[in-house]
Chains A and B, each alone.
Chain A
Amino acid sequence: MNKIYRKSIAASALVLISFSSSGLAPKGSGPSAKAIYQSGSDTVLQKLFKMAKSGVDQEAVYYLAKTLDRQELRMMAAIYFRDLIRQGPSGKFFNDAIKGLSNIDQDIRLNTSFLGSTFRAKIDEKKLLKESRSIYAYVKAEESFRLQKFKEAMSYFSQVSQSDARYNEALFMQAVIINALGQKNKAIELFRKVADLASPKSRMLDQANLNIARINYEKRDFEESIAYYAKISRNSPFWLTAIFESSWDFLVNAKPNNTLGNIHTLHSPFFAHRFFPESYILEAISYLRLCRYEKVKEAMNNFKDRYVPIMNDLKNILQNNLDDKSEFLKIVVEFDNRIPNKHHLSDPIIHILSQTDLYRDNKKISEIITEEIAYIRERYKNNGSFSSDLIRVASSERKTLEQELARKLYREGTSYSDYLVDLYDQTKLITAELMLGKVDALRSKLKIDSSKKRSNFIGGLQPLVIGQKLEYWPFEAGKEGKKGEYWQDELGGYVYNIESKCS
């Protein structure tokens, strides 16, 4: 009797085991998540979502993520892959989840806010698979850079693989760090490599050229600096930045007529909504060099007229949104979406904030989540609680990202406000010293070496070449305080033609 009983128990166990492994387990235990995923049926997503709801069944979470990825709901898949990674390397699907997340990142470029929250658990890097290393290294590198642990950041950035879509960004950041550590020539070399790898007309290419120009300015190689600023094309979003920054090159290179010409472009009505308050300080300094003191005062007054209202308006906005920074984000979004009747004096700064990588990347991810929510709502509209639960997960993620964006944008807005206050103080100082007749003291602070032989420059940051055929167009200044006639094609080409009044 005992033998028969034991044999029947053993047989039942065998049957149970075989049913389980074939996915046809008897009622009560159900098919595995993998089996459901492989079945490819219409209800795969609902079943896996139900299994994964508690978050305990890692296999269910993993296959849920894969199903979402398969249905091109990439952001939702990324959320679940991230959840698995956060549970740490002890999880069975840890490396697979990193691989899944990395693939999604290569396609849609997840923003740093999302990735930054992924690798929370302590990880033994040696146990990471080769395919997982790159994205891990990039995320850790960004974190180290933010904490100003530059050597650690360098080490991680150098581990980003060449096949990774973020490789050029990693090189760029390495160049930034090397420059911060004082190795300027090496930094230039790296930025040149970034420029070579970047697509033509890409932001990365322009940013690399801008940085090479800046480093050359720091090295006091002004002609080389101007040559790199000149590489930024007119259609680039960084063109005006190049015009402005090269003005400093011209000033220090004892060419105030070129400086004033550049500033003339920045102050044209075409760019009335752009933010370059420092250009007025630079204008004042140029006129100071030429001993044209009335013009110095005029520049200071123009700064006050244009930027003090902006400064005050921004202060009010920041004050009003101190407790709820999402309202500040709403202002930026309304500006970006060109909502009518929603204008502020501080729109030039709102414009800058809406052009930052921080905002643009977050906007892109938010839009993807919104599209995926719309898809689920439509596709699973007859599946009541399932679709609303899944949508809740996505909405929650979007809200979290937006809250973080709001905080960061508010911080940026605050730094612009502080910057304006600082510039305003400088203008007050210059005006006061002029009124007190301390002109010589002011001029002596401008350490400009006029003794060196330097190239001459025409408009458009171009050096004057002997024998080159030039065209001259006069700029007709306006009368009675009105702006003159600006032609769009002439922007960037102005050169002043005034002499110094210094005795």
Chain B
Amino acid sequence: MTKRFIKLFLTILLLGASWNSFCAEEDDEFKEFEIRVIRPRYFDKRYRLEIGLGPAVITNQSFIYTYMMSGVLAFHFSDSWAIEGDYSYGLSIDKIEKKHLDGDFNIKTEVTRTRSLAEVGLLWTPIYGKFQAESGYLFYSDTYFSVGGGKTELLYKYDHCEATANSSPTARSPDTPAMYSYPSVYLGAGQRFFVSKNSSLKWDLRVNNIIRNASDGSCSTDAAPSTENVTNVVVKMGYSYFL
């Protein structure tokens, strides 16, 4: 009985100490200043679910444009840390340069078309601030960094391969497009601009690294497998609502 009581007492003591240190930490902010503004935080993300939607663009592709629609679901443990899952799906359009190369010079360019991204990551938000426009209008924002990984689907159209007229059983052609999934990792950064106590506009930049088997995109199924890194720079914009 005494041992249980001592254990309970020590637990409460430890919890209390950690709680106090948390409080003291907050009150210590700008303690060297004689005058501070202390008020409830404008936007409190703790224990809130974030749902977002918005367009995404892959910006570093020479011969195609890739546009996607992206949905986000995140849970914020605190104002600094969150876990986020997002899914993007889209399509790719050939650039005029690709068509000219093919049409005028018979140069077939091999491209990797990203069809979808499904990723989970960790968000760290170290910066919280406010901006004042010339009109006096004030808006709050935060800046975050993210890291994570998931699955990327690439679509191979094999439009750089010959047509099927003299095809062998192992040949791939534009008539037989295929989709392959690969693991991917990313590093990112972004900002949220809070438009109300429950919603924000955001932009996000990610460097997505896909680890693919290069032979999946070759014109022959016999090609030797080789691992290749494909890097996509994805820019997203969106609107988020916090529950």
Interface hits, A450-485 → B, CB 8 Å: 458-460, 462, 466, 468-477, 484
B37 within 8 A of A: yes
Complex-state Cα separation, A388 to B148, whole angstroms = 86
Q: Does A489 contact B (CB under 8 A)?
A: yes
Q: Which residues of B contact A54 (CB under 8 A)?
A: none
Q: Are A472 and B138 in contact (CB under 8 A)?
A: no
Which residues from chain B contact A469 at a C-beta distance below 8 Å? Answer: 40-41, 44, 46, 79
- For A466, the chain B residues whose CB sits under 8 A away are 23
- On whether the beta carbons of A462 and B136 are closer than 8 Å, the reply is no
Query: Quick check: B46 and A493 within 8 Å, CB to CB?
Result: no
Q: Would B138 and A495 count as touching, CB distance under 8 A? A: no
With A472-B29, A487-B132 as contacts: A477 and B34 at CB distance below 8 Å: yes
Cβ–Cβ < 8 Å partners of A293 in chain B: none
Residues of the A chain whose Cβ atoms lie less than 8 Å from the Cβ of B130? 489
Name the residue on A nearest B35 (C-beta).
Answer: A475
Measured between alpha carbons, how far is A488 from B40 in the docked complex, in Å? 16
Given known pairs A469-B46, A472-B29, the reply for A459 and B34 (CB within 8 Å) is no
Question: How far, in angstroms, from A468 to B136 measured CA to CA in the complex?
Answer: 28
Shortest A455–chain B CB gap in Å is 14
A interface footprint on B46-71 (CB within 8 Å = 1, 0 otherwise):
10000000000000000000000000
Contact A494–B36 (Cβ < 8 Å): yes
Q: Is A39 an interface residue (CB 8 A)?
A: no
**Residues on the B chain within 8 Å of A498, using CB:** 34
A264 touches B138 (CB 8 A): no
**What residues on A are CB-neighbors of B37 within 8 Å?**
459, 471-475, 490, 493-495
Beyond A470-B39, A494-B36, A497-B33: 15 further Cβ-contacts under 8 Å? A459-B38, A462-B39, A466-B23, A470-B41, A471-B39, A471-B40, A471-B41, A471-B128, A472-B36, A474-B33, A475-B33, A484-B35, A489-B132, A490-B37, A493-B37
In the assembled complex, the CB of A479 is this many whole angstroms from the nearest CB of chain B, namely: 13
Q: Is A261 an interface residue (CB 8 A)?
A: yes
A239 at the interface (CB under 8 A from B): no
How far apart are the CA atoms of A473 and B30 in the complex, in Å? Answer: 8
Interface size of A in residues (CB-CB distance below 8 Å)? 28
Instruction: Decide if A496 is an interface residue (CB 8 Å cutoff).
Output: yes
Contact between chains at A261 and B39 (CB < 8 Å): no
Q: How far is the CB of A188 from chain B (nearest CB, A)?
A: 27
In the complex, residue of chain B having the shortest beta-carbon distance to the beta carbon of A458: B38
Asked if residues A477 and B40 are in contact (CB atoms below 8 Å), the reply is no
Q: How far is the CB of A244 from chain B (nearest CB, A)?
A: 18
Chain B residues lying within 8 Å of A475, measured Cβ to Cβ, are: 33-37
CB pair B38 A493 closer than 8 Å: yes
Chain B: how many interface residues by the 8 Å CB criterion? 23
**Cα–Cα, bound, A264→B44 (Å):** 27
Chain A residues, Cβ within 8 Å of B41: 469-471
> Among A460, A468, A471, A477, which residue has its beta carbon within 8 angstroms of that of B35?
A477
> A488 CA to B137 CA in the complex, in Å?
10
In the complex, how many angstroms separate the beta carbon of B127 from the nearest chain A beta carbon?
13
- Taken together as a complex, chains A and B put the C-alpha atoms of A152 and B36 apart, in Å, by 51
- What is the distance, in angstroms, from B195's C-beta to the closest C-beta of chain A? 15
Decide if B30 touches A495 in the complex (CB within 8 Å).
Answer: no
Q: Which residues of B contact A477 (CB under 8 A)?
A: 34-35
Contacts of B40 in A (CB 8 A): 458, 460, 462, 468-471
* CB-CB nearest in chain A for B23: A466
Asked if A460 contacts B33 (CB within 8 A), the reply is no
List, in ascending order, chain B residues with CB within 8 A of A493's CB.
37-39
In the complex, per-residue mask of A259-284: 1 if CB is within 8 Å of any chain B CB, else 0: 00100100000000000000000000
Give Cα A460 to B41, complex, Å: 12
Bound-state Cα–Cα, A458 to B39, Å: 6
Asked if B4 is at the interface (CB within 8 A of a chain A CB), the reply is: no
Q: Is B26 an interface residue (CB 8 A)?
A: yes
Q: When the two chains form their complex, are residues B29 and A496 in contact, meaning their CB atoms are under 8 A apart?
A: no
Flag B9-43 by CB within 8 Å of A: 1 or 0 each: 00000000000000100100111011111111110
CA of A498 to CA of B39 in the docked complex: distance in angstroms? Answer: 18
Q: Which residues from 48 to 64 on chain A have a C-beta closer than 8 Å to any C-beta of chain B?
A: none
- B225–chain A nearest beta-carbon distance, Å: 52
Q: Which residues of the other chain, B, contact A489 by a CB distance below 8 angstroms?
A: 130, 132, 138
Q: Does the CB pair B38–A495 fall under 8 Å?
A: yes
* Cβ–Cβ contact A496 & B46, under 8 A: no
Docked-complex contact A494 and B79, CB < 8 angstroms: no
Q: List 26 A-B contacts (CB under 8 A).
A: A264-B35, A458-B40, A459-B38, A469-B40, A469-B44, A469-B46, A469-B79, A470-B38, A471-B38, A471-B42, A472-B36, A472-B38, A473-B30, A473-B37, A474-B30, A474-B37, A484-B35, A490-B37, A493-B38, A493-B39, A494-B35, A494-B37, A495-B35, A495-B38, A496-B34, A496-B35
Which residues in B have their C-beta under 8 angstroms from that of A487?
Answer: 132, 138
CB distance from B151 to the nearest CB of A (A): 35
B45 closest partner in A (C-beta): A469
Docked pose: A476 CA to B37 CA in angstroms = 11
| Most chain A CB atoms below 10 A, which of B35, B37, B130, B138 | B37
Provide the residues of chain B in CB contact with A490, threshold 8 Å: 37
Q: In whole angstroms, how far apart are the Cα atoms of A295 and B77 in the complex?
A: 45
Cα–Cα, bound, A264→B34 (Å): 12
Within B118-146, which residues are at the interface with A (CB < 8 Å)?
A: 128, 130, 132, 136, 138
Given contacts A469-B46, A488-B136, A489-B138, are A261 and B30 in contact (CB under 8 A)? no
- Separation in Å of the B39 CB from the closest CB of chain A? 5
Q: Shortest distance in angstroms between B29's beta carbon and chain A's nearest beta carbon?
A: 4
- Complex CA distance for A471 and B194, rounded to whole angstroms: 15
Contact yes or no, A473 B34, CB < 8 A: no
Residues of B within 8 A of A470 (CB): 26, 38-41
